[in-house]
Structure 1
C-alpha cells in the first residue's frame, strides 16, 4: 500500500483541498496511515501529474485561493485495481518491545518510565478517536455506506490504541509487583 492509495481512498469520498486532506490525515486516517503535510502535498502533485487526480483552483475573495482535488476516472481505476489485490500484513518493528525484551539489563525505573510515556501517548490517541467517534458517528443506521466503512477503520484504531494502553498497564503492574531481589 502506498500513500497514493490512501489519498485516493480519502478523495473518492468527496473532493477536498490539500489543507482539508492533511486535517483528515491527522484526525481520522492517522489510526492506519501517518503522513506529514509535506508528504501529502508532494504526493498530490505527483498524483496530479499521473492523471489520478485533478485540482481545480477555487478563487475566493475573502480568503486565499484554494485548490480542490478530485479523483479522475484513471485514479478510480487505479484504486479499484489496487483494492482487488491481496493485502499483506505490515511488518512489525516495535522499538518499545525490544527495550522490554532487554529491559532486565537496566534499572527497572528506565523501562517503567518508557512504558508510562508510551501509555500516555496511546491514551491520548484513544481519547482523540473516541471524540471523533462521538462527533462523527452517532447515527450509523442512517449513515452512508461510505461513512460506515470509514467507521470500521476508526473502530480498528480504537481497538489498537486500547490494546496498547491495556498492555502497558499489564506490564507496568508486573513491573510494580516484581520482587526487587529478582532484578
Structure 2
C-alpha cells in the first residue's frame, strides 16, 4: 500500500464517506486526484480493508459510501508503527527559481507573487478549519487535538512559504528600483 492509501483509510476511520468526500478532506494535506483515489478505494475494498454501500439520491447520481473494516483498522494501526521516511519534495516553484536567471524580472516577480497568493489562500483555509476546533478539544487525548496540531503544521508551513516569497519579492523589487533610471523633474 502507498501513503495515499493509508491516508484514505485514516479519513475513513474517522467517518464513512464517498470517494469525493474523502478527496475533499485529504486535499489540504495531500494532493490527490480522483484518478488516484477511486482505484485505491476499489483496491482496498477488494482487499477487504473497506466495505461500501450505495446510497440512492433523487436528482443526483447514486453515491457509494465507504467504511473501514476491522482489517482496515488493523492495517492502519500497523502503518502507525512503521518508520517515517524522509519527506518527498516536489515543488515546481523551486525548479522555476533554479531557472529564474533565464527570464526577466517582471516574470520572476509574477511567479513569486502567484505562490505568495497561494500561501495566502492556504492560510485563510487553515484558519477557517481552526475555528471549527473548540479550545477545550485542543488537548492531547481528544481526537480534535490531532486535527489541531496538523492544521497548525499547515499554518507554520504556509507562513514560512509566504515569508520566503515576501523576502524574494523585496530583493527583486529593491534591485529593480536601483536599476530604474532616475526621473529628473
Q: What TM-score, normalized to structure 2? A: 0.83
Q: Is structure 2 residue 33 aligned with structure 1 residue 39?
A: no
Q: Is structure 2 residue 66 aligned with structure 1 residue 69?
A: yes
In the other structure, the counterpart of 2:6 is 5
In the other structure, the counterpart of 1:147 is 144
In the other structure, the counterpart of 1:170 is 167
Q: Deviations over 1:79-125 (max 9, x none)?
A: 11111011112222333223323423432222111101111122112
State the aligned residue count: 175
Stretches of structure 1 lacking an aligned partner (at least 5 in a row) = none
1:79 paired residue among 64, 76, 80:
76
Q: How does 1:76-155 map to 2 (within 5 A)?
A: 76-134=73-131, 136-137=132-133, 139-142=134-137, 145-155=142-152
CA distance in 1: counterparts of 2:86 and 2:28, whole angstroms: 15
CA distance in 1: counterparts of 2:105 and 2:59, whole angstroms: 57
CA distance in 1: counterparts of 2:137 and 2:156, whole angstroms: 24
Query: Measured at CA, do residues 71 and 100 of structure 1 come closer, stay the same or move farther in structure 2, by a change above 3 Å?
Result: same
1:54 paired residue among 46, 51, 55:
51
Query: Pairwise CA RMSD of aligned residues?
Result: 2.2
Structure number with the bigger relative contact order (C-alpha 8 A, sep ≥ 6) is: 1
Q: Deviations over 1:24-65 (max 9, x none)?
A: 23xxxx232111123222211111001101112334567654
Note if contact 1:140-1:148 (Cα within 8 Å) is conserved in structure 2: no
In the other structure, the counterpart of 1:21 is 22
CA distance in 2: counterparts of 1:99 and 1:22, whole angstroms: 28
Q: What TM-score, normalized to structure 1? A: 0.84
